[in-house]
Amino acid sequence: MKISVVTASYNQGDYISEAINSIIEQEYDNIEHIIIDNVSTDSTKEVINSFKNYSHIKFISEPDSGQSNALNKGIRMATGDWILWLNSDDKLNPGAFNFFLKALKDSPDADVVYGHTEFIDESGNYIRTVYHIPYYYTYSLFGLYAPPSTGTFFKASVLKENLLNENYHYRMDIEWFLRCGKNINTQLVNRSLSSFRVTRTNKTGDQIRTGNVHPQHQKERDLDRSDHIYPQFKYVPKKIKPLIYRAMAIILKMPYYFSKFRYSRNISKNFVSNNQKK
Protein backbone atom coordinates (compact mmCIF):
# COMPACT_ATOMS: atom_id res chain seq x y z
CA MET A 1 0.00 0.00 0.00
CA LYS A 2 1.39 3.35 -1.01
CA ILE A 3 1.01 6.40 1.23
CA SER A 4 1.32 9.92 -0.18
CA VAL A 5 2.18 12.68 2.29
CA VAL A 6 1.07 16.14 1.17
CA THR A 7 2.55 19.24 2.80
CA ALA A 8 1.77 22.87 1.95
CA SER A 9 4.65 25.17 2.85
CA TYR A 10 5.34 28.87 3.21
CA ASN A 11 8.22 30.31 5.22
CA GLN A 12 8.48 27.41 7.67
CA GLY A 13 12.21 26.86 7.29
CA ASP A 14 12.62 26.67 11.06
CA TYR A 15 10.33 23.65 11.34
CA ILE A 16 9.94 21.85 8.02
CA SER A 17 12.96 19.60 8.56
CA GLU A 18 11.14 18.10 11.56
CA ALA A 19 8.07 17.43 9.42
CA ILE A 20 10.21 15.73 6.75
CA ASN A 21 12.21 13.70 9.28
CA SER A 22 9.05 12.58 11.06
CA ILE A 23 8.03 10.83 7.83
CA ILE A 24 11.47 9.35 7.18
CA GLU A 25 11.55 7.97 10.73
CA GLN A 26 8.36 5.98 10.11
CA GLU A 27 10.65 3.54 8.24
CA TYR A 28 7.98 2.79 5.65
CA ASP A 29 9.26 2.27 2.12
CA ASN A 30 6.21 2.70 -0.10
CA ILE A 31 5.73 6.45 0.32
CA GLU A 32 6.05 9.76 -1.45
CA HIS A 33 6.25 13.13 0.28
CA ILE A 34 4.91 15.94 -1.89
CA ILE A 35 5.86 19.42 -0.66
CA ILE A 36 4.14 22.36 -2.37
CA ASP A 37 5.89 25.60 -1.45
CA ASN A 38 4.56 29.11 -2.10
CA VAL A 39 7.99 30.51 -3.10
CA SER A 40 9.18 30.92 0.48
CA THR A 41 11.58 33.77 1.16
CA ASP A 42 13.26 32.18 4.20
CA SER A 43 15.47 29.08 4.41
CA THR A 44 12.74 26.63 3.34
CA LYS A 45 14.22 25.85 -0.07
CA GLU A 46 17.72 25.26 1.35
CA VAL A 47 16.34 22.99 4.08
CA ILE A 48 14.34 20.89 1.63
CA ASN A 49 17.26 20.68 -0.80
CA SER A 50 19.33 19.18 2.02
CA PHE A 51 17.09 16.11 1.68
CA LYS A 52 17.80 15.72 -2.05
CA ASN A 53 19.18 12.21 -1.54
CA TYR A 54 15.74 11.00 -0.51
CA SER A 55 14.01 9.99 -3.72
CA HIS A 56 10.54 9.86 -2.16
CA ILE A 57 10.50 13.66 -1.66
CA LYS A 58 8.94 15.73 -4.44
CA PHE A 59 9.41 19.47 -4.05
CA ILE A 60 7.58 22.12 -6.05
CA SER A 61 8.04 25.83 -5.41
CA GLU A 62 5.59 28.07 -7.24
CA PRO A 63 3.04 30.77 -6.39
CA ASP A 64 -0.30 29.64 -5.02
CA SER A 65 -3.47 31.31 -3.76
CA GLY A 66 -3.29 29.86 -0.26
CA GLN A 67 -2.96 26.66 1.73
CA SER A 68 -6.06 25.01 0.23
CA ASN A 69 -4.81 25.65 -3.30
CA ALA A 70 -1.38 24.23 -2.44
CA LEU A 71 -2.88 21.15 -0.79
CA ASN A 72 -5.14 20.53 -3.77
CA LYS A 73 -2.10 20.64 -6.06
CA GLY A 74 -0.45 17.97 -3.94
CA ILE A 75 -3.61 15.87 -3.74
CA ARG A 76 -3.95 15.89 -7.53
CA MET A 77 -0.28 14.83 -7.87
CA ALA A 78 -0.52 12.06 -5.28
CA THR A 79 -0.17 8.50 -6.58
CA GLY A 80 -0.75 6.71 -3.28
CA ASP A 81 -3.72 4.70 -2.06
CA TRP A 82 -3.93 6.94 1.00
CA ILE A 83 -3.05 10.59 1.50
CA LEU A 84 -1.66 11.96 4.76
CA TRP A 85 -2.18 15.69 5.31
CA LEU A 86 0.78 17.09 7.26
CA ASN A 87 1.37 20.79 7.86
CA SER A 88 4.90 22.07 7.32
CA ASP A 89 5.38 23.13 10.96
CA ASP A 90 3.85 19.99 12.46
CA LYS A 91 5.21 16.47 12.69
CA LEU A 92 4.04 12.89 12.71
CA ASN A 93 4.65 11.03 15.94
CA PRO A 94 6.75 7.83 16.07
CA GLY A 95 4.85 4.71 15.03
CA ALA A 96 1.98 6.63 13.42
CA PHE A 97 2.15 4.63 10.18
CA ASN A 98 2.04 1.34 12.10
CA PHE A 99 -0.97 2.47 14.12
CA PHE A 100 -2.69 3.60 10.91
CA LEU A 101 -2.06 0.28 9.16
CA LYS A 102 -3.35 -1.67 12.14
CA ALA A 103 -6.50 0.46 12.27
CA LEU A 104 -7.04 -0.08 8.56
CA LYS A 105 -6.68 -3.83 8.98
CA ASP A 106 -9.34 -3.75 11.68
CA SER A 107 -11.58 -1.35 9.71
CA PRO A 108 -10.95 -1.95 5.99
CA ASP A 109 -13.97 0.14 4.97
CA ALA A 110 -12.59 3.33 6.55
CA ASP A 111 -12.27 6.45 4.39
CA VAL A 112 -10.58 8.62 7.04
CA VAL A 113 -8.29 7.46 9.86
CA TYR A 114 -7.22 9.87 12.59
CA GLY A 115 -5.80 9.85 16.10
CA HIS A 116 -5.27 12.21 19.00
CA THR A 117 -3.23 15.39 18.65
CA GLU A 118 -0.46 16.76 20.84
CA PHE A 119 0.14 20.50 21.02
CA ILE A 120 3.79 21.54 21.11
CA ASP A 121 5.46 24.97 21.28
CA GLU A 122 8.07 26.58 19.01
CA SER A 123 10.82 24.48 20.59
CA GLY A 124 8.89 21.23 20.40
CA ASN A 125 8.04 21.20 24.09
CA TYR A 126 4.86 19.34 24.99
CA ILE A 127 1.88 21.56 25.91
CA ARG A 128 -1.11 19.22 26.13
CA THR A 129 -2.90 16.40 24.36
CA VAL A 130 -6.20 16.96 22.57
CA TYR A 131 -8.15 13.73 22.86
CA HIS A 132 -10.57 13.15 20.01
CA ILE A 133 -13.79 11.16 19.97
CA PRO A 134 -15.41 9.00 17.29
CA TYR A 135 -16.76 11.20 14.52
CA TYR A 136 -20.41 12.18 14.71
CA TYR A 137 -21.63 14.40 11.86
CA THR A 138 -24.19 16.25 13.97
CA TYR A 139 -21.43 17.63 16.19
CA SER A 140 -19.78 19.14 13.10
CA LEU A 141 -23.09 20.50 11.94
CA PHE A 142 -23.50 22.53 15.13
CA GLY A 143 -19.90 23.70 15.39
CA LEU A 144 -18.77 21.43 18.20
CA TYR A 145 -16.31 19.03 16.61
CA ALA A 146 -14.50 17.83 13.52
CA PRO A 147 -11.55 15.42 13.27
CA PRO A 148 -8.09 16.98 12.99
CA SER A 149 -6.66 17.75 9.55
CA THR A 150 -2.90 17.55 10.00
CA GLY A 151 -1.79 14.03 10.83
CA THR A 152 -4.95 12.49 9.38
CA PHE A 153 -5.03 9.81 6.67
CA PHE A 154 -7.59 10.14 3.86
CA LYS A 155 -8.42 7.48 1.30
CA ALA A 156 -6.98 8.96 -1.89
CA SER A 157 -10.05 8.35 -4.03
CA VAL A 158 -12.31 10.14 -1.53
CA LEU A 159 -10.05 13.17 -1.26
CA LYS A 160 -9.41 13.42 -5.00
CA GLU A 161 -13.14 13.36 -5.69
CA ASN A 162 -13.77 15.96 -2.98
CA LEU A 163 -10.99 18.54 -3.07
CA LEU A 164 -10.68 21.33 -0.54
CA ASN A 165 -12.66 24.54 -1.06
CA GLU A 166 -9.99 27.04 -2.13
CA ASN A 167 -12.05 29.99 -0.91
CA TYR A 168 -11.30 28.81 2.62
CA HIS A 169 -8.03 29.69 4.34
CA TYR A 170 -8.78 28.80 7.98
CA ARG A 171 -11.64 26.31 8.10
CA MET A 172 -10.99 24.28 4.94
CA ASP A 173 -10.90 21.06 6.96
CA ILE A 174 -14.15 21.81 8.81
CA GLU A 175 -15.87 22.81 5.56
CA TRP A 176 -14.69 19.53 4.04
CA PHE A 177 -16.27 17.49 6.82
CA LEU A 178 -19.48 19.52 6.62
CA ARG A 179 -19.62 18.85 2.89
CA CYS A 180 -18.49 15.22 2.90
CA GLY A 181 -18.96 13.95 6.45
CA LYS A 182 -22.34 12.31 5.92
CA ASN A 183 -20.96 9.92 3.33
CA ILE A 184 -17.66 8.76 4.79
CA ASN A 185 -16.57 6.06 7.21
CA THR A 186 -14.12 7.23 9.86
CA GLN A 187 -11.89 5.35 12.26
CA LEU A 188 -10.35 6.81 15.41
CA VAL A 189 -6.96 5.43 16.43
CA ASN A 190 -6.50 5.31 20.19
CA ARG A 191 -3.04 6.87 19.96
CA SER A 192 -1.51 10.30 19.49
CA LEU A 193 -0.53 10.34 15.81
CA SER A 194 0.66 13.91 15.30
CA SER A 195 2.07 16.97 17.02
CA PHE A 196 0.53 20.36 16.19
CA ARG A 197 2.87 23.29 16.69
CA VAL A 198 1.41 26.41 18.31
CA THR A 199 3.52 29.42 17.33
CA ARG A 200 3.12 33.15 16.89
CA THR A 201 3.51 32.77 13.13
CA ASN A 202 1.03 30.04 12.24
CA LYS A 203 -2.48 31.08 11.27
CA THR A 204 -4.34 29.54 14.18
CA GLY A 205 -1.69 29.97 16.86
CA ASP A 206 -2.96 33.34 18.08
CA GLN A 207 -6.53 32.11 18.20
CA ILE A 208 -5.54 29.04 20.22
CA ARG A 209 -3.61 31.18 22.71
CA THR A 210 -6.02 34.11 23.05
CA GLY A 211 -9.38 33.02 21.69
CA ASN A 212 -9.41 35.97 19.26
CA VAL A 213 -11.01 35.03 15.95
CA HIS A 214 -9.47 36.38 12.73
CA PRO A 215 -12.03 38.22 10.52
CA GLN A 216 -11.43 35.75 7.66
CA HIS A 217 -12.02 32.88 10.05
CA GLN A 218 -15.33 34.44 11.13
CA LYS A 219 -16.29 34.98 7.50
CA GLU A 220 -15.73 31.29 6.84
CA ARG A 221 -17.84 30.36 9.87
CA ASP A 222 -20.66 32.43 8.43
CA LEU A 223 -20.24 30.76 5.04
CA ASP A 224 -20.41 27.32 6.65
CA ARG A 225 -23.73 28.21 8.22
CA SER A 226 -25.26 29.70 5.08
CA ASP A 227 -23.94 27.03 2.69
CA HIS A 228 -24.00 23.83 4.72
CA ILE A 229 -25.95 24.24 7.96
CA TYR A 230 -29.00 26.43 7.46
CA PRO A 231 -30.06 24.66 4.22
CA GLN A 232 -30.62 21.52 6.28
CA PHE A 233 -33.42 23.27 8.20
CA LYS A 234 -35.67 22.98 5.15
CA TYR A 235 -38.99 23.81 6.74
CA VAL A 236 -37.82 26.43 9.22
CA PRO A 237 -38.42 30.13 8.42
CA LYS A 238 -35.21 31.92 7.44
CA LYS A 239 -35.29 34.33 10.39
CA ILE A 240 -35.60 31.50 12.90
CA LYS A 241 -32.75 29.36 11.55
CA PRO A 242 -29.99 31.18 13.53
CA LEU A 243 -32.03 30.74 16.72
CA ILE A 244 -32.49 27.03 16.05
CA TYR A 245 -28.77 26.69 15.34
CA ARG A 246 -27.74 28.39 18.59
CA ALA A 247 -30.28 26.45 20.64
CA MET A 248 -29.20 23.10 19.24
CA ALA A 249 -25.53 23.95 19.75
CA ILE A 250 -26.24 24.68 23.44
CA ILE A 251 -28.31 21.52 23.87
CA LEU A 252 -25.66 19.30 22.26
CA LYS A 253 -22.78 20.73 24.29
CA MET A 254 -23.63 18.66 27.34
CA PRO A 255 -23.62 15.22 25.66
CA TYR A 256 -20.61 16.22 23.54
CA TYR A 257 -18.45 17.25 26.49
CA PHE A 258 -19.64 14.28 28.54
CA SER A 259 -18.67 11.94 25.72
CA LYS A 260 -15.32 13.67 25.29
CA PHE A 261 -14.60 13.52 29.03
CA ARG A 262 -15.63 9.88 29.35
CA TYR A 263 -13.65 8.87 26.29
CA SER A 264 -10.51 10.73 27.35
CA ARG A 265 -10.69 9.23 30.83
CA ASN A 266 -11.04 5.71 29.44
CA ILE A 267 -8.13 5.98 27.05
CA SER A 268 -5.82 8.01 29.27
CA LYS A 269 -5.45 5.10 31.70
CA ASN A 270 -3.22 3.25 29.26
CA PHE A 271 -2.07 6.16 27.12
CA VAL A 272 1.21 8.05 27.43
CA SER A 273 1.97 10.79 24.93
CA ASN A 274 5.07 10.51 22.76
CA ASN A 275 6.36 13.89 23.91
CA GLN A 276 5.81 13.08 27.58
CA LYS A 277 7.99 9.97 27.19
CA LYS A 278 10.97 12.06 26.10
Lowest-confidence region among 34-48, 169-183, 205-219, 249-263 = 205-219
Domains of the chain: 3-277 (3.90.550.10)
Model confidence, pTM: 0.90
- pLDDT reading at 123 higher than 50: yes
State residue 274's pLDDT score. 43
pLDDT level of residue 116 (50, 70, 90 thresholds): very high
State residue 203's pLDDT score. 62
Write out pLDDT tens, residues 74-113. 999 999 999 999 999 999 999 999 999 999 999 999 999 9
State residue 178's pLDDT score. 96
State residue 271's pLDDT score. 43
24, 55 Cβ separation under 8 angstroms = no
- Name the burial class of residue 178, with classes exposed (0-12), middle (13-18) and buried (19+) by CB atoms within 10 angstroms of its CB: buried
Give φ, ψ of 266 to 5 degrees. Answer: -65, -40
State residue 61's pLDDT score. 96
Angle, alpha carbons 208-197-87 (nearest 5°): 110
Sign, CA dihedral 52-56-60-66, equals: negative
State residue 214's pLDDT score. 79
* Mean pLDDT, residues 127-131 taken together: 91
Reading phi first (left if > 0) and then psi (alpha if -120 to 50, else beta), residue 218 is in: alpha
Higher pLDDT, residue 109 or 213: 109
Angstrom distances, CA of residue 17 to CA of 41, 119, 170, 172, 267: 16, 18, 24, 25, 31
- pLDDT reading at 138 higher than 50: yes
* Mean pLDDT, residues 115-123 taken together: 94
Angstrom distances, CA of residue 34 to CA of 4, 65, 248, 268: 7, 18, 41, 34
Question: How far is the C-alpha of 186 from the C-alpha of 135, rounded, in Å?
Answer: 7
Angstrom distances, CA of residue 140 to CA of 25, 168, 171, 206, 225: 33, 17, 12, 23, 11
Residues 6 or more apart in contact with residue 249 via CB below 8 angstroms: 142, 143, 144
State residue 269's pLDDT score. 43
Type of residue found at 170: Y
State residue 273's pLDDT score. 40
Question: What percent of the chain is modeled with pLDDT above 70?
Answer: 90
